[in-house]
Amino acid sequence: MMCTRSSWAARSPALRRSSHDGCTTHTLHPSTRSLPGYHPGGRVEGVGGSIRRGQNTVKLHGYFRSSTSYRLRIALELKGLGYENVPVNLLASEQKGEAFTSRNPFGSVPMLEADGRDRAQSMALLEWLDEAYPDKPLMPSDIEARYTVRELTYAIATELHAPLNLPVLKYLKNEYSQSQEAIDAWYRHWLARTLEPVEARLAQLDTGDFLLDAPGLFETVLLPQVYNARRFKYDVDAHGHIARIEAACLALPAFQHAHPDNQPDNPENSA
Ligand SMILES: N[C@@H](CCC(=O)N[C@@H](CS)C(=O)NCC(=O)O)C(=O)O
């Protein structure tokens, strides 16, 4: 029999992490921010009190609409960690320039500059952040609950994000001469293929506002994908559990601060 949310709790108290809203004292004033180019050497924007390990301030090199950068912003906010935001303009292909690829050979965002290293790959980064900054963990301590979080999170990160990534969409358009209509259909096809089983699993688990009792790794990876799904006019509301978790997350300051609408490199926020 499938383990429900309530039976988990009864069998495994470790599942019930202490609740926190991920609220930090950061105040964002997007409208007062400029739209900087990629200036990796300089401080572009401070957000709240930056975390320091050793002598280094953590810097997040990202793009406001990048779902993988959005993951990192949510995680940093949930953990209450300040950071410097270094915008990388994907539309200007700054991620492919020598200044960036000499530091991150993947040529993609996010890149986290932390502890004297330039770190790439969002899932590795999320796991590293949780290990390096264990306060307000993104993962529960119970092994079965950790498995559940990973099952759902990695379905989204590996099966959903990969075929919907911008270089894939560009390749379909430029190399295979696909119309925007065909690309939109591709996008919705792959969304459904993963969001439907995720929704079914959430129903089996009888989830509430969050997968567990506070947002963690799953919500950190889910929310950016749901944001993209809505941009592509996918009917997210047909998935009741996913839509409810989305609404509960968006009500929290941590998710609001991390949202693409509130980023300094969002052109809507330039004066
Ligand atoms: N597997 C990588 C994927 C990163 C990724 O695809 N980033 C996108 C933005 S969401 C990007 O930089 N795209 C520009 C490009 O690849 O040229 C990760 O999880 O960090």
Domain boundaries, the chain: 5-15+140-254, 34-136+258-269
Name the residue with the closest Cα to ligand 1, atom 2: 121
pLDDT(39) > 80: no
Q: Which atom of ligand 1 is nearest to the CA of 166?
A: 13
Q: What distance in Å separates the CA atoms of residue 95 and residue 72, rounded to the nearest whole number?
A: 17
Q: Is 67 in the pocket of ligand 1 (CB under 6 A)?
A: yes
Give, to the nearest 10 degrees, the angle between helix 67-78 and helix 122-132. Answer: 10
Please determine, looking at this structure, whether the domain spanning 5-15+140-254 carries the CATH number 1.20.1050.10.
Answer: yes
- Banded pLDDT at 166 (limits 50, 70, 90): confident
Q: What are phi and psi of 93, to 5 degrees?
A: 55, 30
Name the residue with the closest Cα to ligand 1, atom 5: 108
Task: Give me ligand 1 centre to Cα 166, in Å.
Answer: 8
Name the residue with the closest Cα to ligand 1, atom 11: 108
pLDDT(130) > 70: yes
Torsion of CA 258, 263, 265, 270, to 10 degrees: 170
Quote the pLDDT of residue 271: 64
Q: Which atom of ligand 1 is nearest to the CA of 90?
A: 14
Give 57-111 pLDDT, tens digit per residue. 799 999 999 999 999 999 999 999 999 999 999 999 999 999 999 999 999 999 9
Q: Is 220 in the pocket of ligand 1 (CB under 6 A)?
A: no
Q: What is the mean pLDDT of residues 171-180?
A: 94
Q: Is 112 in the pocket of ligand 1 (CB under 6 A)?
A: no
Task: Give me ligand 1 centre to Cα 94, in Å.
Answer: 12
pTM of the model: 0.82
Quote the pLDDT of residue 270: 82
Strands 83-87, 59-62: pairing is parallel
Q: What distance in Å separates the CA atoms of residue 68 and residue 125, rounded to the nearest whole number?
A: 10
Do residues 261 and 29 lie in contact, with contact meaning Cβ atoms separated by under 8 Å? no
CATH dotted code for 34-136+258-269: 3.40.30.10
Question: Half-sphere exposure of residue 243, counting CA atoms within 13 Å on the CB side?
Answer: 9
Name the residue with the closest Cα to ligand 1, atom 15: 108
Quote the pLDDT of residue 56: 52
Q: Is 104 in the pocket of ligand 1 (CB under 6 A)?
A: no
Q: What is the mean pLDDT of residues 233-250?
A: 97
Q: Is 85 in the pocket of ligand 1 (CB under 6 A)?
A: no
pLDDT(41) > 60: no
CA distances from 270 to 44, 205, 254, 263 (A): 14, 43, 22, 10
Q: Which atom of ligand 1 is nearest to the CA of 67?
A: 10
Task: Give me ligand 1 centre to Cα 227, in Å.
Answer: 16
